[in-house]
């Protein structure tokens, strides 16, 4: 089962925008770096725009830039913006309520799922886009 890659793609997009400074970047350019379709990029940019992390302008002179300084964008805000979902999915069908495990397993797993998600968000809150940019620059050097 594949993991959701929206978060990592969103961080990639934001890092490219941070590197571009005040210059607007077209979704096609972002898509080329991510190696995906521009439609995927535009969908993610929509989420990032709703979260006030980017500012986009349509048209021939359009493009996207960061709405905030890289040091003011925490990774938990990116995670929340792209709504990655929970770390694991619950049963697609309701388990048997006649089974002692089946009637309680979803409630138990739901509590664990929420605890894990809070932990992920708390850990991501410790990093900013500026931190990521420093790591990228150090990795390249």
Report yes or no on 1 lying in a domain. no
Q: Which domain holds residue 104?
A: 6-140
Q: How many domains does the chain have?
A: 1
Q: Which residues contact 24 (CB under 8 A, 6 or more apart)?
A: 57, 61, 62, 63, 64, 65
CA distance 128 to 15: 11
pLDDT, averaged in runs of 10, over the chain (141 residues): 77 96 94 94 95 91 94 95 78 88 92 90 96 88 56
Question: Is 89 within a domain?
Answer: yes
Report yes or no on 132 lying in a domain.
Answer: yes
Tell me which DSSP letter residue 69 carries: -
User: At residue 128, what are phi and psi to the nearest 5 degrees?
Assistant: -115, 170
Q: How many other C-beta atoms are found inside a 10 Å radius of the C-beta of residue 69?
A: 11
* pLDDT reported for residue 3: 54
Q: Does some domain include residue 93? A: yes
The DSSP letter of residue 74 is B
The CATH number of whichever domain residue 117 belongs to comes to: 1.10.10.10
In a domain, 136, yes or no: yes
CA–CA separation, 132 and 19 (whole Å): 11
pLDDT of residue 62: 87
d(CA 130, CA 13) in angstroms, rounded, equals 13
pLDDT at residue 60, as a whole number: 81
């Amino acid at each position: 089962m594949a993991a959701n890659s929206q978060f990592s793609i969103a961080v990639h997009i934001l890092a490219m925008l941070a590197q571009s400074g005040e210059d607007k970047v077209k979704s096609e350019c972002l898509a080329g770096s991510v190696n995906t379709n521009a439609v995927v990029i535009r969908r993610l940019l929509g989420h990032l725009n709703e979260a006030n992390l980017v500012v986009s302008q349509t048209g021939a002179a359009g493009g996207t830039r960061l709405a905030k300084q890289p040091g003011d964008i925490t990774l938990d805000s990116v995670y929340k913006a792209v709504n990655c979902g929970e770390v694991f999915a619950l049963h697609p069908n309701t388990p048997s309520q006649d089974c002692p495990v089946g009637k309680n397993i979803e409630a138990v797993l739901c509590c664990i799922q929420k605890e894990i998600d809070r932990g992920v968000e708390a850990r991501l809150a410790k990093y900013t886009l500026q931190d990521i940019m420093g790591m990228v620059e150090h990795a390249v050097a």
